[in-house]
Amino acid sequence: MQTRELTAIIEREGDGYVALCPELDIASQGDTIETARANLKEALELFFETADPAEIKARLHDEVFVTRVEVAVG
């Protein structure tokens, strides 16, 4: 079995957390950061198990850059 390292962006939403993988545009959620991350990992693994290679190729963004920007707000 091969593995792949993907990005997980996790942010608070209401009383819980939302986890997003921008490479595949797949998201999940959980009550804690750890649960949201675990649920995202499960969703990604299920996607790779069930998607055909053409769908994986069409959805996968190989380069994702996460950075911060400073903007004027007033």
Of the pLDDT bands very low, low, confident and very high (cuts 50, 70, 90), residue 1 is confident
User: pLDDT digits over 11-63, tens only?
Assistant: 999 999 999 999 999 999 999 999 999 999 999 999 999 999 999 999 999 89
Residue 46: phi, psi to the nearest 5?
A: -65, -40
Residue 19: phi, psi to the nearest 5?
A: -115, 130
* Range 1-74: architecture per CATH: 2-Layer Sandwich (3.30)
Q: What is the pLDDT of residue 40?
A: 98
Q: What is the arrangement of strands in the sheet containing 9-13, beginning at the earlier edge strand?
A: 9-13, 16-21, 26-30
Please state the domain extents for the chain: 1-74
| The model's pTM | 0.90
| 3-class state of residue 57 by DSSP | helix
